[in-house]
Structure 1
């Protein structure tokens, strides 16, 4: 048996290492695969039109400054009232456009979130990726934070930052030309000569905004990493709280509240440490952003004042130039004002796209070399061809693994088969390999073509909902008649639950282990599959329950039964053919 590598079974496996460009490409793929792509494109076009109208309104408002302030300087009352009327027309136009922009931006964010959330969930629950990720990567341990909170934040911040960047770019292009025209050819005396500086106010705005941007980059360089670390610690805290909530009964029985409390407090401490670092980073960034922000109140007037004092510019022209300078500077400092938000966005993008990249890795989505192949074959036959199950290492020098001792066994329709194994063999992995969940190993498992196979795990799944929904899961309730459901409950000795068939409860907490397994067998009776594979389902049950359940198995004349385990009751009641799982530890090859 060859000893192929085990990259995906390493519990400390690192997430995919994506560059920023790869993250953007992955986000683009997610957008293009979105079912709301068409609506987002139409909304983007509408938003662009609204932003252009808003920019036009701001240009009108900027031009209004000159006649208005000239009217004040000249004490021209009729002109003053005329400009006031003009102002209210412009303001009304801008108000309507602002409201339209808000509506379009909020709607875009909504559809952006819908598209991203649905795409991420689709990728997560496609095929058997979610399970495989949960056993192969730390990303699969608590993906809910990335699927819910991070996806929400990414959609909303992407929308707001994109709109802000687009609006600032259009403002910059529009007002730079205005400011350049107003600057004229400003000259400064130097060594007896007049040195002309065309568009000097534009250069002043560029230098001022560039200095602010450079300072912000230096001070806030670590914010992206700190934000990413914060989200990881928040996810760990949420997972700890969810784990405790799901295991309240055993914790209370063991009087383990103090231990759980210490563990949760430790996760809270980790979150608080990162938030403290983030608070300090944002505080330091505020020194830069606030300083340049306050100076922006006077800098435009200072830069425009030489032309005013030289007599080439009126007071109205000064105010118009100062307003245009403010628009250019505001557009240029968009990056500065949003440095923290951009760092947060990049951290969120990384977390979401790393998960999406992991979910679309060929190791999860395709049959790769060194994996068990599960494929359909002949009807009425289930075959194992050179199947070797590879397990996580149990010692530094060896890999755990096992195979079927019998040579290429074939199970035919109608048979009763038990598969047990050597001490220490984890039959659950073999059970999952048959279901296509555990690809780690070699060989082929050939399933009967078009024959329905029902897999029954040792721990039944009890989804929240009505009892009748659990009986039918994963099919719709309409697939079965209510009288058949009642008959199935009666057959497994759960007639007392008949009046509760339509009740919605946390049945995993209401029913004990015996009742949950009996409910699973009631589903088996309803489903009547051609093949049923059991993973040690009789282990640890009361003798009376075992007797009832083995009786159900005996009654399934049209179902092929494959039982993984060592149940004496199954042996005695069904006299199955027995296959053996044999350990084959493989030494790790020297590097």
Structure 2
């Protein structure tokens, strides 16, 4: 029941969205085509009766007529099959586009992508949930639901044919006899119940193994991806053997689980194959005595056999698709788990942040580690006005970067309040983020590049000694690999000048620059943004000249002290 509830939770948003009308029309068209296929199968059943009767009677004219009917039936079968595929794929694409877009928006909302990484590290590979699992969920769900509907329609359509064709079957018991109407219907029912129960019992471990296999394979792919992302660092450490040990360990874990999966699938496959094969001859053996006694012609025997096959196949639908059901269940479990984690994330950062356009203020800020065992900062307050600049200095591990995260709503293990121009705040990190695309788009990120501001962009690049990049603004390459860390940090200063924020946080954003380059960056930054509040984190004494106030750790009291630069001179 939990899986069905999870399925409905995942599917309902699409079927109640603005896409529901075209989606329902496509679904209706797909269902109609599948019903057409059932109708063709019914006609084909009666074709069997006439065709084999014609063969037995050596009626050549009836044989030729049956041949023409066969061609028409195959044309109809092909038409309905292709049309059903067409409408189902159009529905799949529409559902897939909506679901992925909606899930991405949900993932990006309130910076959940970051909170998920910080607070729910056990959520494995959320990118795979979006890229792979949604696709699998939609494809398998449609296939199973439409298949089940077709099976039910076929079942009720052929039950009447099989019941009437079976007639009254007499089973002798000594001097008495038992007359059973529609015997083959009861045989098909009992055989299907036994087969379905056996398949579910033998394959009960498959959903869990499928779930684990997806995780093992994703972990292996992730380790390979890290090799590509950190190739230079690994080469500098000569860490090839260590990486190979990691690869081998994760590959072995995936293969061991895969073998456990194969062993279970092997049992289910053998059972299903034997079960489906034996079903084809059961009606022949049951009806053979009457046929050889001349009770009915060959055509009726083939009709009974075909009808039994349709009824049995419909009743045994769950047996045939059990491996897909197991895979579908694991996909539903993964997606609902991912959605539960997203819903459980609180949009509250811990710090009460409010918009204030003309100043920066912190009141009673407290920070602690996620486990709650260590307090990083207690009852800290601060007020800055436009044009102020603050340098924060403290030993590594004190929580300097965490302070900025908390004030910006990126760390929820905090309390207190912060007020500033939240719509015009920018963080320059030690390792700038360079998205995919043209250099022009990267420098304007996250805003859309404005070609009308090319003179300002070119001027900023020249001032930060990046003039050689002006001719490459429209080039697309992996700029995070092509540019040195120092060049990337200077590019982040270009971003700041273009954005003109009211509050600018600089988290060791000049760590890869020498003092001359650092001086150039801060001097030009202050010239271009004289009213911007600067809050810097750094260790170099050379940074003091660019800040009017300094916040540092008092080694004696282990507390933060705030002073002006002149007071410390």
Aligned length: 556
Q: Matches of residues 424-435 of structure 1 in structure 2 within 5 Å?
A: 424-435=397-408
In the alignment, the residues of structure 2 paired with residue 82 and residue 29 of structure 1 have an alpha-carbon distance, to the nearest angstrom, of 50
Change in Cα spacing, 1:404 to 1:520, as seen in structure 2 (3 Å) is farther
Correspondence 1:528 to 2:497: no
Q: Matches of residues 251-290 of structure 1 in structure 2 within 5 Å?
A: 251-290=234-273
Correspondence 1:415 to 2:398: no
- 2:353 is matched with 375
* Secondary structure of 2:474's aligned partner: coil
- 1:400 is matched with 374
Structure 1 unpaired stretches of 5+? 1-17, 585-591
Deviation string, structure 1 residues 346-393 (Cα, Å, up to 9, x no partner): 1122112211221122x33x33xxx51343243213322322112134
- 1:120 is matched with 103
* Secondary structure of 2:384's aligned partner: strand
Q: Matches of residues 205-284 of structure 1 in structure 2 within 5 Å?
A: 205-284=188-267
Correspondence 1:346 to 2:346: no
**Quick one: which of 157, 170, 174 aligns to 2:140?**
157
Deviates more, 1:171-180 or 1:575-584: 575-584
Correspondence 1:519 to 2:491: yes
Change in Cα spacing, 1:212 to 1:26, as seen in structure 2 (3 Å) is same
State the Cα distance separating 1:168 from its structure 2 match. Answer: 1.1
For the 8 Å contact 1:422–1:583, the answer to whether it is kept is no
Change in Cα spacing, 1:38 to 1:447, as seen in structure 2 (3 Å) is farther
* Secondary structure of 2:110's aligned partner: coil
- 2:435 is matched with 463
- 1:481 is matched with 453
For the 8 Å contact 1:223–1:281, the answer to whether it is kept is yes
Correspondence 1:573 to 2:553: no
For the 8 Å contact 1:212–1:292, the answer to whether it is kept is yes
In the alignment, the residues of structure 2 paired with residue 19 and residue 201 of structure 1 have an alpha-carbon distance, to the nearest angstrom, of 36
- What TM-score results when the alignment is normalised by the length of structure 2? 0.92
- 2:176 is matched with 193
In the alignment, the residues of structure 2 paired with residue 294 and residue 189 of structure 1 have an alpha-carbon distance, to the nearest angstrom, of 28
For the 8 Å contact 1:453–1:530, the answer to whether it is kept is yes
- CA RMSD, Structure 1 to Structure 2 (Å): 2.3
Deviates more, 1:207-216 or 1:422-431: 422-431
- 2:536 is matched with 563
* Secondary structure of 2:109's aligned partner: coil
For the 8 Å contact 1:209–1:332, the answer to whether it is kept is yes
**Quick one: which of 355, 365, 372 aligns to 2:338?**
355
Change in Cα spacing, 1:132 to 1:484, as seen in structure 2 (3 Å) is same
In the alignment, the residues of structure 1 paired with residue 433 and residue 295 of structure 2 have an alpha-carbon distance, to the nearest angstrom, of 82
In the alignment, the residues of structure 2 paired with residue 418 and residue 175 of structure 1 have an alpha-carbon distance, to the nearest angstrom, of 82
**Quick one: which of 78, 81, 90 aligns to 1:107?**
90
- 2:121 is matched with 138
- 1:319 is matched with 302
State the Cα distance separating 1:59 from its structure 2 match. Answer: 0.8
For the 8 Å contact 1:550–1:569, the answer to whether it is kept is no
For the 8 Å contact 1:116–1:155, the answer to whether it is kept is no
In the alignment, the residues of structure 2 paired with residue 336 and residue 272 of structure 1 have an alpha-carbon distance, to the nearest angstrom, of 27
Deviates more, 1:228-237 or 1:299-308: 299-308
State the Cα distance separating 1:402 from its structure 2 match. Answer: 2.5
Compare relative contact order (CA 8 Å, sep 6+) and give the higher one, 1 or 2: 1
In the alignment, the residues of structure 2 paired with residue 315 and residue 61 of structure 1 have an alpha-carbon distance, to the nearest angstrom, of 16
For the 8 Å contact 2:406–2:414, the answer to whether it is kept is no
Change in Cα spacing, 1:188 to 1:141, as seen in structure 2 (3 Å) is closer
For the 8 Å contact 1:301–1:322, the answer to whether it is kept is yes
- 1:15 is matched with none
Q: Matches of residues 45-124 of structure 1 in structure 2 within 5 Å?
A: 45-124=28-107
In the alignment, the residues of structure 2 paired with residue 577 and residue 424 of structure 1 have an alpha-carbon distance, to the nearest angstrom, of 18
For the 8 Å contact 2:390–2:549, the answer to whether it is kept is yes
For the 8 Å contact 1:402–1:583, the answer to whether it is kept is no
In the alignment, the residues of structure 2 paired with residue 135 and residue 495 of structure 1 have an alpha-carbon distance, to the nearest angstrom, of 38
**Quick one: which of 385, 394, 397 aligns to 2:363?**
385
Deviates more, 1:571-580 or 1:351-360: 571-580
Deviation string, structure 1 residues 10-63 (Cα, Å, up to 9, x no partner): xxxxxxxx9324422321244347664433222111111111111111111111
* Secondary structure of 1:31's aligned partner: helix
For the 8 Å contact 1:419–1:578, the answer to whether it is kept is yes
For the 8 Å contact 1:230–1:274, the answer to whether it is kept is yes
In the alignment, the residues of structure 1 paired with residue 259 and residue 17 of structure 2 have an alpha-carbon distance, to the nearest angstrom, of 37
In the alignment, the residues of structure 1 paired with residue 396 and residue 437 of structure 2 have an alpha-carbon distance, to the nearest angstrom, of 39
Change in Cα spacing, 1:489 to 1:174, as seen in structure 2 (3 Å) is same
Change in Cα spacing, 1:34 to 1:278, as seen in structure 2 (3 Å) is farther
In the alignment, the residues of structure 2 paired with residue 304 and residue 384 of structure 1 have an alpha-carbon distance, to the nearest angstrom, of 88
